[in-house]
Amino acid sequence: MNRRHFMKTAAGTTAAMAMAPGSASSSQNVLGANDRVNVALIGCGGRGRLVAGHMAKVPNVAFVAVCDISDTTIAQARTSAFAAPEAEGYKDFRRALDRKDVHAVLIATPDHWHAIPTVLACQAGKDIYVEKPLGHNVVEGRKMVEAARKHNRIVQHGTQHRSAPHYKEIEKIIQSGEIGDVHFVRVWNYGGNVAGQQIPDSEIPEGVDWDMYLGPAPMVPFNRQRFQGTYRRFFDYAGGYITDFGCHRLDSVHQVMHDDTPLTVYSMGSLYVPVGQGDTPDVLQVTYEYKNWVLSYEGIQMNSFGTGPRMPGGRVPYNAAGAFARPHGEAFYGTKGTIFSDRVGYELFPADGGGSRRGGAGGGENGDEAAPKSAEGRDCTDLHAANFIEAVRSRQKPVADIEIGHKSSNVCHLGNISYRLGGRKLKWNAEKDEIVGDQEASKMLWREPRAKWDLI
């Protein structure tokens, strides 16, 4: 199906697919509350191993397969505590999907490798936990949603703040009108993570399947900055800061505001410190207009707002006092009060009797997204992983259902599209997943994959 035909039919098919019965393969893959859930990990880097570690602690969960494009990473995963003794390693994840004893998959690959495994896993009758953003682009995300609905699969999006109790508290506060009518919201991500030095192309490391790593992305020579953690600096594979940290916080805003539908999007920014390879901006400001409120997003990678860089071992004062001590967070400005929040807790001004009221886990000390000292009450990845397994067994939607993830990912993609078009203002039709009246921008909702990976 070509992109034009897909965009014309997506809206009309979504409702029908939401009611469609599952396939024969999916209807046979029903587990009882006490049955063991066998999981395959696709993408065995740091984040994948972290989430797998939490998921494996849920009773009767076993990781029986690990998949990666690197022999070294597969070996590390097979010897990790989360892996079952009988866990098999695969360079091609499709071999794991062929196994009838695999019930679910955890996808923690780079962004450009989220869509294909998700759609193929749905077709194979597996349930899926997929990291954020949902897809590399808007059309990929819609195809993922349609596959999940068609095959009646459980799909949890990796925006783990949906499982954080303090965001549910904030949601109740705002929806009760305690801080009045909220007409302005700020989201910010600040980090001292400027790109490194230029690195020349080099030989492909032994044991790495570079062609498989690139997958649907364009074929290019091997370069370490396109590999591992720094892949997010390239639009070929990801979307920079906004689809990384921004997706979490924009999703939380949607949750507490009960509104996930921007009407217009306008971006500005640049890559001001291009000391390494990459083309995503290190400064990005996006303004979103919703029905009755405005959202401002700020992503800055050259300054961590005076709080120190986000890196393992660094102290980042999550849930510190006020907005300007939080390197990542949200602010909700109401007619009667203000809430400052982040992944650890929140602060409400003014509280009854004056001053402020705090909620959440207190002064969160740890700022390492990949390996929090205590996930519960801080990062909440453990709660999110447990919610996924509960949904697999109950067949009820998880807290971050795929449609929720699609809408939160879309606002990130739209911010990048506006930026890449020089700050053009875009009008968004969320019901149809379409940019209104702009053919050039509409073409950026999709990327033609390399022919061998044109699978969805």
Please name which of 82, 126, 87 lies closest in space to residue 104, comparing C-alpha atoms.
126
Assigned token pair, 203: 């030989």
**Cβ atoms 185, 333 nearer than 8 A:** yes
Encode pLDDT of 168-218 as tens digits. 999 999 999 999 999 999 999 988 766 567 889 999 999 999 999 999 999
The pTM assigned to this predicted structure is: 0.89
CA 362, CA 365: separation in Å to the nearest integer? 9
**In the chain, where does the domain assigned CATH 3.30.360.10 lie?**
165-201+203-374+413-419
The reported pLDDT for the residue numbered 79 is 94
pLDDT band at residue 326 under the 50/70/90 scheme: confident
The reported pLDDT for the residue numbered 121 is 99
The reported pLDDT for the residue numbered 309 is 47
Q: What is the DSSP letter of 283?
A: E
| pLDDT surpasses 90 at 339 | yes
Q: Which helix (DSSP H) or strand (DSSP E) does residue 13 occupy?
A: helix 3-18
Question: Mean pLDDT throughout 327-343?
Answer: 93
CA 414, CA 426: separation in Å to the nearest integer? 8
**Cβ atoms 287, 295 nearer than 8 A:** yes
Assigned token pair, 95: 């071999």
Show Cβ contacts of residue 91 under 8 Å, excluding neighbours closer than 6 positions. 67, 68, 69, 71, 74, 209, 212
The reported pLDDT for the residue numbered 375 is 36
CA 321, CA 346: separation in Å to the nearest integer? 9
Is the preceding peptide bond at 350 cis, omega within 30 degrees of 0? yes
Encode pLDDT of 20-50 as tens digits. 333 434 444 567 666 899 999 999 999 999 9
**In the chain, where does the domain assigned CATH 3.40.50.720 lie?**
3-161+384-401
- Dihedrals phi, psi of 329, to nearest 5 degrees: 175, -170
The reported pLDDT for the residue numbered 328 is 87
Q: CA separation (Å) from 317 to 22, 191, 248, 320, 362?
A: 46, 13, 18, 5, 10
- The SS3 of residue 375 is helix
Q: Which helix (DSSP H) or strand (DSSP E) does residue 441 occupy?
A: helix 439-443
| pLDDT surpasses 80 at 442 | yes
CA 115, CA 125: separation in Å to the nearest integer? 16
The reported pLDDT for the residue numbered 6 is 42
For residues 311 and 38, the model is more confident at: 38
| pLDDT surpasses 60 at 452 | yes
| pLDDT surpasses 80 at 12 | no
| pLDDT surpasses 60 at 329 | yes
Question: Mean pLDDT throughout 81-86?
Answer: 94
Question: Mean pLDDT throughout 125-144?
Answer: 99
* Correct CATH for 3-161+384-401 of 3.40.50.720, 3.40.50.2300, 1.10.3210.10, 3.20.10.10: 3.40.50.720
pLDDT band at residue 354 under the 50/70/90 scheme: low
For residues 7 and 246, the model is more confident at: 246
pLDDT band at residue 368 under the 50/70/90 scheme: very low
Vertex 170: Cα angle to 160 and 48 (nearest 5): 5
The reported pLDDT for the residue numbered 357 is 74
Percent of the chain at pLDDT > 70 equals 81
Average pLDDT across the chain, whole number: 87
The residue whose two tokens read 């702009």 is 438
Assigned token pair, 196: 């490194």
Q: What is the DSSP letter of 208?
A: B
| pLDDT surpasses 90 at 273 | no
Assign domain 165-201+203-374+413-419 to its CATH superfamily: Dihydrodipicolinate Reductase; domain 2 (3.30.360.10)
Beta-bridge mates of residue 332: 185, 339
- Dihedrals phi, psi of 67, to nearest 5 degrees: -130, 135
Give me the numbers of helices (H) and strands (E) for the chain, helices first please: 14, 18
Percent of the chain at pLDDT > 90 equals 74
For residues 12 and 339, the model is more confident at: 339
Question: Mean pLDDT throughout 381-401?
Answer: 98
